Amino acid sequence: MIDQPTLTPRQRQDLRTIAAMIIPASEEYRVPGADDSAIQADMLATLGRDTKLVAAALDHLARLAGAPLAELDAAKRDAVAQEFRKHGGVAAATLVRVVLQCYYRDDCVLGSLGLELRAPFPKGHVLPDGDWSLLDPVKARGGSLRRAP
């Protein structure tokens, strides 16, 4: 088994801070910010192959800030974020993607968007067990052989 790299405590703190900057909480829509503990836990649990790029982005942020982001005043944090957006490259894009994908799969967020918290099919229509009639058109086509790539 390959050891997955993990984020340091400082990187985790900066991730929480930058996530809140990307998507702040909204009382109007009753949704948490991207710094919500459940969303953060999802991010950390699902980083996988993105861990190195996210860590690189957080290290770049730390160099720009010169201190943990949470310790900076709002104006300084915004200036650091703007500089990061200009020069962060692929690592910055990966960081933003990770924040967005974890945020928009949170149940509270999906509910606030009017999306159901289940798969869209069969939309309340129950299919009887063992009813494979939906496959009849596929079976009628017959088999086809194709070369494997």
Contacts 24+ apart (CB under 8 A), 40-45: 40/12, 40/15, 40/16, 42/102, 42/105, 42/106, 43/15, 43/19, 43/98, 43/99, 43/102, 44/7, 44/12
What's residue 125's pLDDT?
Answer: 65
The fraction of the chain above a pLDDT of 70, given in percent, is: 91
CA pair distance 65, 76, nearest whole angstrom: 8
What's residue 1's pLDDT?
Answer: 44
What's residue 65's pLDDT?
Answer: 92
Q: What tens digit of pLDDT does each residue of 80-139 get?
A: 999 999 988 898 999 999 999 999 999 889 888 888 777 666 666 666 778 888 788 888
Q: Above 60 in pLDDT, residue 3?
A: no
Q: Above 90 in pLDDT, residue 16?
A: yes
Cis ω before 9 (30° cut-off from 0): no
Whole-model pTM: value is 0.74
Three-state DSSP class for 31?
strand
Q: Between 77 and 126, name the one with better pLDDT.
A: 77
What's residue 50's pLDDT?
Answer: 93
